[in-house]
């Protein structure tokens, strides 16, 4: 039977950051601060706002063009290997228990992805089939743990410099708080840099922007489930710290 992959991240960085910004920025009463130009929450998209704006612009006539601005964008721009070894890194056997399967099964597909768990319902069914076919025999997988340096761009754009300035200042405070939330979710060494006073002249009016780069180290785990136990049976897993308490796998993404 073919191997079935599961990817588990400490966080799904884009959804995590967007959700955090949406929750926090709604507390600023931006609609009043910007003279009714943003609503309580501006548009927040998982791409650069100007890319979204340009897409709307070229796909609409001048008569029905609707701007998404003011808007905030969140996108992953760099994903580099973090080569330093750490406790628990590398490959090791990992038991797939029924509790582990049930825990994933209790998370909807959308929430799975938001929590950094990349596993389709079809593949989950395949894992359950393998587990059922094993009967009382344990189902093992190969677990690979590694870390990545990630750089996320968070930008804010509008057609008025004061609106952009207000968004920039709100984001600066929110993103500094976000660094502490990242550390609670096993993302390490978060740092933040920003630049305001950015301009774009490619539309019918001047647009004003501000951008942040949020850098951190994210934890990732690949798990490959295979019904072929010929290799795994040659390993004394009792010496590798393998435990039946597989539920702890998700503590970094669900709390």
The answer to whether residue 183 sits within a structural domain is yes
> What CATH number has the domain bearing residue 202?
3.30.70
Q: What percent of the chain has pLDDT over 70?
A: 83
Confidence label for 122 from pLDDT (cuts 50, 70 and 90)? very high
Q: pLDDT tens digits for 164-213?
A: 999 999 999 999 999 999 988 888 899 999 999 999 998 878 999 999 99
pLDDT at 246: 44
The answer to whether residue 117 sits within a structural domain is no
Tell me which residue range forms the domain holding 70.
Answer: 13-81+148-219
CA angle 226, 227, 229 (to 5 degrees): 95
Q: What percent of the chain has pLDDT over 90?
A: 47
* DSSP letter for each residue of 158-202: ESSHHHHHHHHHHHHHHHHHHHHHHHHTT-EEEEEEEEEEEEE-S
Burial of residue 115 (number of CB atoms within 10 Å: 0-12, 13-18, 19+): buried
Please measure the distance between the N-terminal and C-terminal CA atoms of the chain and give it in whole angstroms.
Answer: 34
Top-confidence residue, 37 or 170: 170
pLDDT at 61: 63
Rounded-to-integer distance, Cα 116 and Cα 120, Å: 12
And the tokens for 237? 């897993």
The answer to whether residue 134 sits within a structural domain is no
């Amino acid at each position: 039977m073919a191997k079935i992959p599961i990817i588990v991240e400490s966080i799904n960085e884009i959804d995590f950051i967007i959700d955090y910004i949406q929750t926090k920025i709604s507390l600023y009463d931006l609609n009043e601060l910007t003279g009714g130009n943003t609503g309580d929450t501006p548009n927040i998209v998982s791409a650069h706002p100007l890319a979204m704006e340009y897409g709307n612009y070229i796909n609409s006539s001048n008569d029905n063009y609707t701007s998404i601005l003011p808007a905030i964008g969140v996108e992953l721009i760099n994903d580099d290997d973090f080569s330093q070894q750490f406790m628990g890194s590398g490959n090791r056997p990992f038991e797939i228990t029924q509790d582990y399967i049930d825990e994933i099964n209790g998370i909807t597909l959308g929430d799975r992805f938001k929590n950094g768990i990349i596993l389709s319902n079809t593949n989950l069914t395949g894992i359950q089939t393998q587990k059922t076919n094993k009967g009382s025999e344990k189902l093992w997988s190969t677990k690979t743990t590694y870390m990545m340096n990630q750089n996320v761009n968070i930008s804010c754009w509008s057609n008025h410099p004061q609106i952009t300035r207000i968004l920039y200042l709100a984001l600066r405070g929110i993103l500094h708080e976000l660094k502490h939330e990242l550390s609670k979710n096993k993302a390490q060494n978060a740092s933040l840099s920003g630049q305001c006073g950015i301009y774009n002249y490619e539309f019918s009016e001047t647009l004003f922007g501000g951008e942040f780069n949020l850098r951190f180290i994210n934890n990732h785990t690949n798990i490959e489930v295979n019904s072929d136990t010929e290799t795994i049976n040659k390993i004394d897993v009792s010496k590798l710290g393998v435990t039946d308490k597989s539920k702890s796998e998700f503590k970094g993404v669900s709390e």
